């Protein structure tokens, strides 16, 4: 078309060269005038044809490219759909106490070559972590780090990495015995408020501190702050830093007062620290929290009522009605010996 367009602009020249008519004023005036008009007509037609054919070719190219892009998109959707099916299968296996191995197997079979699909690494890391073996914690940490390489601001990645680091050393904790506050009250089995809790070995402090850093990073990436702060409290308590633990538990509970577990840990830790001086118990809000736990949390209701009974047994805090209620509620849960805290 470009050649035809070019030639149409020189058709008069080509004609005169080919036929070599005598050059006269008449030819110049009449014949060349006609050829010039014909030339312009051919030029316009060839130009229009060129535009039409060019547009058709460009349109065909765009359509072809769109079709290929749609094929790629559909192929990726199929792949993701298959991956999602595997994820659900693996999640069911990972959450099953009777078959903890299946989750890991499914994620391995899914194909970890999908490097842009970092959630696979997160889920497989979760599956490793839930199996709770030393070797699995190492594999879980590897997968969390791989997920974070792909998506560095993944809140679940940072949280999982911090929790895995902590769990890896928690199995090596040792009991740290301290003085107990013992009480012998009629109608209540032997009760002892004690701080004989597990402590992380000193050589593992570095790893627990790294775990805390990961948790704080998860919070900065908008992970559930209440949950992360509660775990940070556990980590501080495992190193014997009860003040920081109490602060973390308290902040966790303030952020989500419906989570009675967070409230109980705050109240229990506060009482353990202040067992010899409970003059500030009202300001700390411990009583109200324990009442809420006793009414709303079946799993922790027994220790909550026991702690209330303990508080009301202290002369300076004695409230006959409240003490009787706490005492009867505690007795209701006692079968042989009241648990030892």
* Mean pLDDT in order along the chain per 10 residues (341 residues): 54 53 51 56 67 72 75 69 60 56 59 64 83 82 92 94 94 66 47 64 94 97 96 95 96 95 94 84 92 88 82 76 72 51 45
**How confident is the model at residue 250, as a pLDDT?**
97
What is the signed CA dihedral for 21, 25, 30, 32, rounded to 10 degrees?
Answer: 50
**Nearest CA to 273 among 296, 249, 294?**
249
Helix (H, G, I), strand (E, B) or coil at 154: coil
What's the rounded Cα separation, in Å, for the pair 32 and 39?
Answer: 10
**How confident is the model at residue 126, as a pLDDT?**
85
Signed CA dihedral, 252, 253, 258, 262: sign only: positive
Structure tokens at 328: 């009867």
- 193 forms bridges with which residues in the sheet? 181
**How confident is the model at residue 301, as a pLDDT?**
83
- Alpha helices in the chain, H assignment, sequence order: 2-8, 11-19, 25-26, 32-94, 100-110, 119-131, 134-150, 155-170, 205-220, 225-238, 242-255, 260-273, 281-284, 286-296, 301-312, 320-333
Residues 6+ apart with CB under 8 A from 65: none
**How confident is the model at residue 145, as a pLDDT?**
95
**How confident is the model at residue 36, as a pLDDT?**
60
Q: Nearest 5°: phi and psi at 199?
A: -130, 140
Place of tokens 């005492």: 327
**How confident is the model at residue 313, as a pLDDT?**
76
At what angle are helices 320-333 and 301-312 packed, to 10 degrees? 140
**How confident is the model at residue 107, as a pLDDT?**
59
At what angle are helices 155-170 and 205-220 packed, to 10 degrees? 160
Which CA distances in Å does 308 have to 19, 107, 220, 267, 287?
121, 47, 36, 10, 7
């Amino acid at each position: 078309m470009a050649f035809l367009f070019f030639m149409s602009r020189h058709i008069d020249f080509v004609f005169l060269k080919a036929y070599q008519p005598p050059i006269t004023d008449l030819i110049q005036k009449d014949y060349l005038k006609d050829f010039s008009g014909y030339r312009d007509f051919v030029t316009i037609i060839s130009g229009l044809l060129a535009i039409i054919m060019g547009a058709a070719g460009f349109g065909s190219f765009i359509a072809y490219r769109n079709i290929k892009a749609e094929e790629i998109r559909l192929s990726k959707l199929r792949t993701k759909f298959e991956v999602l099916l595997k994820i659900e299968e693996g999640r069911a296996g990972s959450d099953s106490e009777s078959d903890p191995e299946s989750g890991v197997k499914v994620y391995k079979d899914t194909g970890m070559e999908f490097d842009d699909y970092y959630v696979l690494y997160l889920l497989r890391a979760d599956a490793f972590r839930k199996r709770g073996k030393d070797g699995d914690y190492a594999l879980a940490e590897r997968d969390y780090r791989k997920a974070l390489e792909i998506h560095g601001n993944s809140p679940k990645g940072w949280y999982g990495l911090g929790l895995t680091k902590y769990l890896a050393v928690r199995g090596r904790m040792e009991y740290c015995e301290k003085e107990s506050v013992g009480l012998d009250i009629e109608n209540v089995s032997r009760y002892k408020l004690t701080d004989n809790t597990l402590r992380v070995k000193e050589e593992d402090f570095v790893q627990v501190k790294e775990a805390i850093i990961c948790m704080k990073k998860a919070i900065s990436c908008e992970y559930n702050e209440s949950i992360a702060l509660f775990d940070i409290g556990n980590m501080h308590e495992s190193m014997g830093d009860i003040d920081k633990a109490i602060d973390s538990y308290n902040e966790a509970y303030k952020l989500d007062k419906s989570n009675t577990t967070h409230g109980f840990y705050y109240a229990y830790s506060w009482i353990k620290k202040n067992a010899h001086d409970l003059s500030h118990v009202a300001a700390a809000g411990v009583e109200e929290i324990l009442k809420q736990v006793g009414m709303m949390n079946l799993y922790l209701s027994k220790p909550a009522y026991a702690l209330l009974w303990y508080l009301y047994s202290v002369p300076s805090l004695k409230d006959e009605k409240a003490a009787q209620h706490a005492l009867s509620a505690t007795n209701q849960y006692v079968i042989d010996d009241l648990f030892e805290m």
